[in-house]
Structure 1
C-alpha cells in the first residue's frame, strides 16, 4: 500500500501509454494531453521506478529491461481496474464525437453512402471527416494520431496497427466494344499490347497488377495514371484503352453501354479490403461502434 500512495492512477495510465507508444508525442495524443505534460510525467515515473524506462537507441525510443518487465503486469492491472470501475453502456444516439477517416474515392463510392445513412439514423451527433491518402501515409497518420480509421488494402502493417477484413474483392477488365473481339475479351498478349489506365494516388505506385506482371518479368504500357476511381471508367469510350479495376468500382453499366466487361487474362489475387486503426483506439466504445458500423455497411455493397 505504501507504494500505491506514492503514485496515482493517472500516472499509471500515462505509463501504459508511454510503454505502448514508445514515443512521448504519440503518448500525449493517446492521453489527450500536451507533450510537455507527458514529458513531466515521464520524469516523475523515472524517479519513482529508479529507471529511465525509455531510452534512445538508433534514432528511436526503446524500452529498458525494467520497462519491458512492467508491460504485462501494468496491462493486467489496468484491465482489472477498468472491469472494477466499469463504464456506462455506449449510447450512439447521444454521442457527440468527430471521427477522422481516410479512404479512396473507391471506398467513398462503395462504403460511405450506406455508412452516412446508418450514422445519421443511429448516431446523428457523430460527425465524419473524410480524407484521402496512400496506404503508407494512412498508416503513418494512424500512428501519429491524425486519423481514427483508415479503409484500404494493407498487406503489411506495424505491430501497433490492427486490421479487420471488410470484404473480398476481385478484378475485372473494361474496354470499348469497338476495340474488342465480337465475343469475349482479350488474350493476355492482346491485353499486354494495349495502352492501359492505372488507378493510383502516385504515378509510380506499384500495385497488385504491376507486381503480378513483374513476377513474370513483364510491364504494361500505362497511358493514363490517375487517382480518381469514379472518373476512370468514363475515359474508356471511343479509345483503345483498357482498364483493369476492382469489380465493385464499376457498378451498373447502364451509363456505359458502349463498354464491355471481361475477365482479366492473367491471374490476379483476390484482395481483402480492410479497415485499420491504432491499438490506442481499440477499446474506445465509440470507436468500436464505428468499426462495427463500417463492417455492417460494407456488407450492403
Structure 2
C-alpha cells in the first residue's frame, strides 16, 4: 500500500508539499499540484481520513440526525443529503434519534469525538444552545424542518402555513363544506404551522370548529385513529386535510372501513409529497421539495465547513399542490 512518502518521491517534492495538496492548506503552484495528484493516481494512494482528522484537518465526514427513520420523509431527505455529499467527496453518518433528547445528546458527544466536520439536524427536541455550542467548537450545523429565528442558526424549512392554506382552499374549490384536520403532534413546529393555516382559511369562511380537529402522530395508525374520532363527532365530513401523507393513508383506511368512498363521499389531501402517497387512490398532497431541501442543507453546510460567508437565518422553501385521485371525482 502506497504511503505519503512514496507519493513525495514519485512527484519529486517534499512530504509537506504533498500534505498541503491533500489538505488544501497553504500555497502550492499549479504545476506542482498536478504532479502530486498524478503521483497519487499512479500509486492509487488514498489519504487516511482518520490521520487527517487526528492532525486537526477535515475528516470529510458529516452527520445527519433525523427524528424518525420510519417516516418516509426522512429516508428521502437522507438520500438527497448523501447524494450531494458524495459528489463533494464526503461520507454521511446517519443517526436516528427517535424524538429522544437524551439520544440526541449522546449522538452529539459521539460525533464531536469523531471530529465530524458538520451536522445536519432534523429535530424537534433540540435546543438552540446545543447548536450554538457546536458553532463555538467550529463544527458546522444546519437545521432542517425547524428554526430558531432569535438565534444566528442556519435553518431550512418549507412554507408549512402557506401549504396548509393551499390544501384547505383546494378542498373548498372541490365543493367541500365540512372540512376536518388531522394535525401532527402539536409540540412540533411544522404541525402547529399547518394547523394555523387550516384555521386561518376555515375562519375566513365561517366554518371553523375546534371539534373538526384531531391530533395524530405523523404515522398511519395515528391518522386512522384520528379519522375514527372525527367521524364519530361529524359523520357529515366531506373533506379532510391531514398534516402529513402517512396520516392521510391512515385516514383513508378509516374512511374505507366506515363505508365512505374517496373522493366521492370525502375528499382527502395530505402533506409532504412522499413516494408512498401514490397508493390507490393516489393521494392529493402538498409536496415539500424534499430533494432540494437535502441538497441545499448540504450546500450550506459545506460553505460553513470551508469558512465561506453564509447568512445564518431561516430559509423557507416553496411547496406545491399535487392534485390526484383523492380529491378528484
TM-score, with length taken from structure 1: 0.40
TM-score, with length taken from structure 2: 0.38
Structure with bigger strand share is 1
